[in-house]
Amino acid sequence: MSKEEFEQRWARKSLREILSAVQERVGKLEESMEDLKESDNALGESIGDSREQSREGVSSEAFSNEDVPKLKEFVGTRSACDVDNFLWMMEN
């Protein structure tokens, strides 16, 4: 066996090993994708159930405008410093 033949056989063997490893990884990825699809479907169903339960639990009367008191007009004075302090506190 010449050196060239040996190198060609070695290259073929390593290519086969690489191809086998790649095929194995692709198989694992496909399994993972199927698992993710199943999880996604279960999560979607769970979200749908939660939405239905929340719609059933909230009555339309809870959103009526009759219960909300009307705001009174502000009669005092506003300090620019107080407004700045309030805005700073809201940002931080």
pLDDT at 15 over 70: yes
Domain contains 7: yes
> What pLDDT score was predicted for residue 66?
66
Q: Could you tell me the residue range of the domain that residue 25 belongs to?
A: 1-58
pTM, two decimals, is: 0.39
79 inside domain: no
Q: Is 70 a member of any domain?
A: no
- Structural domain contains residue 64: no
pLDDT attached to residue 30: 93
Burial per residue of 6-39, b for 16 or more beta-carbon CB atoms within 10 angstroms, e otherwise: eeeeeeeeeeeeeeeeeeeeeeeeeeeeeeeeee
Distance CA 56, CA 58 (A): 6
Tell me if 88 is assigned to some domain.
Answer: no
pLDDT digits (tens, 9 = 90+) for 24-83: 999 999 999 998 888 888 888 888 878 777 776 655 555 566 666 777 777 777 778 888
Question: How many structural domains does the chain have?
Answer: 1
CA 49 to CA 86: how far, in whole Å? 41
